[in-house]
Structure 1
Amino acid sequence: MTDYDAIVLGGGAAGLMCAAVAGQRGRRVLVIEHADRVGKKILISGGGRCNFTNLGVAPDRYLSANPHFAKSALGRYTAQDFLALVERYGIAWHEKTLGQLFCDGSSRQIVDMLLAECAQGGADIAVGHSAREIEHADGRFRLSFGGRQAQAPALVIATGGPSIPKMGATDFAYDLARRFGLKVIEPRPALVPLTLGGDETLFRSLSGVSAEVVARAGRTAFREAALFTHRGLSGPAILQISSYWRHGEPVAIDFLPDRATGWLRAAKREHPRATLRSQLAVMLPDRLADVLAERIGLTRELANCPDAQLQGAEQRLAGWPFHPNGTEGFAKAEVTAGGISTAELSSQTMEARKVPGLYAIGEAVDVTGWLGGYNFQWAWASGWAAGMAL
């Protein structure tokens, strides 16, 4: 039985950050990763270039049953703090749209940086082993892994959620949390493509067509590209809105977000012989213009269309209701919404209120960020908060 100050379950973004911070504070830390290497999700992120944070990080860009929970960790370890670490390692980076920061080179640089930080803190990292026989008694957590046994007064759950199971993702974090009496908010796929069925399968014929739109669900809206797929809708705008969408609700798409009310009636005055389809084709891909004009059913020249009919077409194009019949599930979800309830944790330390020494960080917790580096920043910030408390 080997003694540690803390055992971190999960060698992903949050787990490695936590181990590095705690190790460099003099704690003896063990990281157990069941996959054959650490940081697998980091490696595939951002098309292999890791969208490692976002300059626009703010608490209102995270979903949680408690929208205030993330404020403390995000405020104490910021995007600028992580960027300073990246620059200290000489990793070249660039900003894409909407504040998204990527490596110029490879995601591997971020993993190597985290491993170097862990090594600096003397953390032990065991890969290819699952933690088994986890017990808690006399203020110590005991477990076995790969034929070895370890114990520590602190145990950190950093095993993420079930999104992208082909990467080895499971719901282990939730099972373990429940065993210790912690509540779990029902997990669901987030940042995930939506599927269409019924009468809307017509839109699948547009597979591969994309356009910049505003997607809305309830009071939430995102302006980015939407992409039609052979199963339904994807692209950044759809992935973003999927986190807010609930089964049975529509998603409204504004196909012409730059057009003011009355644009079609103005086109009738300026180009009376034009058709709705020809006007749409100026602003949208041809195939999309064809389908939208066909569904609206306006085929005559604009001069022959009553203004009320044109107004109706404008309104439909500004809030086209799609009724998704589901999502592509955890297999295609970038992250998991829901998770270990924030009501069970200290927002300062990420420690469980009713189980001293038990911590939960990263995607395992009911905090889910927008697309574009926000979830990595939550991993760094929550990992740092726990690492500072261990």
Structure 2
Amino acid sequence: MSKNYDVVILGAGAAGLMCAIEAAKRKRQVLVIDHANKPGKKILMSGGGRCNFTNLHTSPDKYISHNPHFCKSALSRYTPWHFIELINKYRIAYHEKHLGQLFCDEKSKDVVDLLLAECQKYGVSIQLGQSITEVHQRAENQFTLVAINAVHYQCESLVIATGGLSIPTMGASGFGYNIAKQFEMPVHPTRAGLVPLTLHKQDVERFASLSGVSQDICAMVNKQSFKESMLFTHRGLSGPAILQISSYWKAGEAVVINLCPHYSIAQLIENTLKISGNQSLKTFLRHLLSKRLVSILWSADFLDKSLKSLSSKEIAALEKSVHAWEIVPNGTEGYRTAEVTLGGVDCNAVSSKNFEANAVKGLYFIGEVLDVTGWLGGYNFQWAWASGWSAGQFV
């Protein structure tokens, strides 16, 4: 059995559904295929179930890619305000959490329902629970897709919106990368991004009692830094600051952590000496850091010292241990808990205007399958909307 469409989109996620809507608006006959049993699975679980659907501070410098200029065109043509207009059209209540992050007041399903309503409005067909086993190009702008149940789909434009490898329990796979390789397109090595860091055994044991403790910090790797909270876990470190820096961290590197980014320890000691020089270092530090963290990082003898008894050398050492605490992670939690996948289809092989493969007429790549990875906080959804919208004007 063979079915013919103008456009077939593989992947019923954020990018795929947005592309489908825009293509259907142009009177194209569109089919979206996904092997999952529900559309928008990643949308549904995002933002703690409230979907951090965009970020007001979206700009190209918030994205990681071997071609940092690639994302500029799409992000400038479809901005957060365009998606907010769609959110308002469906009267979905939302709020800004912090740092420009916009969340639904109610539930992530509101965003999925919005996308499905737009798909229905413009006549998009969605086929769920369908796995594609083969893709063939019969001629320019002519593709045949073979499904696992032997159904053949024919199309002029084939859009790969299959996402990355993160969270395999939701069905993530390397299918999109395999399609790119099949058509001899370069693919950058992939790795987990926005992911908790694990620690070496001795550090896991050392910080075991801190599991669940949160601390506002500034995490740094090379020249990149993020000032947010860090969470100790039973395996290592997590929290927004750690998830952010994980995308820049490479195996073997130390993460430099400023445990007190809002104050200078040396200056605070100097100020405190004027009014309470007999105060113990332990009492002083416990006003700034978790009690348990303080007792682990410094010896009891050192903590029992009064502030006025500290030498300039000791203050300098304390300052370094607070503002530049170094720890070398053992690795990451991997794709199992990663929010995104770094690397992917080489952007130099794809048009930044219409997302068509330069060497394969009619083949398009959008969303996370490309080598474009956003920061935490709605940036990856905005990339999905922008890349999907942009491709939808041309497929």
* Structure-1-length-normalised TM-score: 0.97
Amino acid at match of 1:144: V
One-letter identity of the residue aligned with 1:137 = R
Q: 1:197 to 1:122 in 2, by over 3 A?
A: same
Is the contact between residue 296 and residue 313 of structure 1 (CA under 8 Å) also seen in structure 2?
Answer: no
Matched residue, 2:158: 155
Q: What is residue 322 of structure 2 aligned with on the other side?
A: 317
* Aligned length, in residue pairs: 390
- 1:379 counterpart residue number: 384
Deviations 1:150-186 (A, max 9, x none): 1112111100001001111111111111111111111
Alignment of 1:226 with 2:227, yes or no, is no
2:370 counterpart of 1:368: no
Tell me the percent identity.
51
Q: Which residue is equivalent to 2:245? A: 241
Tell me which residue corresponds to 1:21: 22
Deviations 1:33-60 (A, max 9, x none): 0001110000011111111001010000
Alpha-carbon distance in 1 for matches of 2:362, 2:289: 56
1:262 corresponds to: 266
Q: Distance in 2 between matches of 1:211 and 1:368?
A: 26
Residue 144, structure 1, aligned to residue 146, structure 2: yes
Unaligned runs of 5+ in 1: none
- SS class of match (2:159): strand
Q: Secondary structure at the residue paired with 1:154?
A: strand
User: 1:203 Cα shift?
Assistant: 1.9
Contact 1:23 1:120 in 2 (8 A): no
Question: Which residue identity is paired with 2:245?
Answer: I
Distance in 2 (CA, whole Å) between partners of 1:308 and 1:153 is 72
The one-character-per-residue Cα deviations of 1:345-384 (angstroms, maximum 9, x if unpaired) are 1111111101111110101000000101000000000000
8 A Cα contact 1:52 1:377, kept in partner: yes
Structure 2, unmatched stretches of 5+, are none
Provide the C-alpha distance between the structure 1 equivalents of 2:324 and 2:301, rounded to a whole number of angstroms.
13
Alpha-carbon RMSD: 1.4
2:218·2:226 contact (CA, 8 Å) conserved in 1?
yes
Kept after mapping to 1: 8 A contact 2:215/2:290 = yes
- Could you tell me which of 196, 199, 213 is aligned with 1:196? 199
- The range that moved more, 81-90 or 148-157, is 148-157
Which one-letter code corresponds to 1:151 in the other structure? Q
Segments of 4+ moved more than 6 angstroms: none
1:330 match: 335
Determine the structure 2 residue equivalent to 1:42: 43
1:58-100 CA distances to partner (integer Å, 9 max, x unpaired)?
0000000011110000000000000000100111111111111
CA distance in 1, matches of 2:331, 2:304: 33
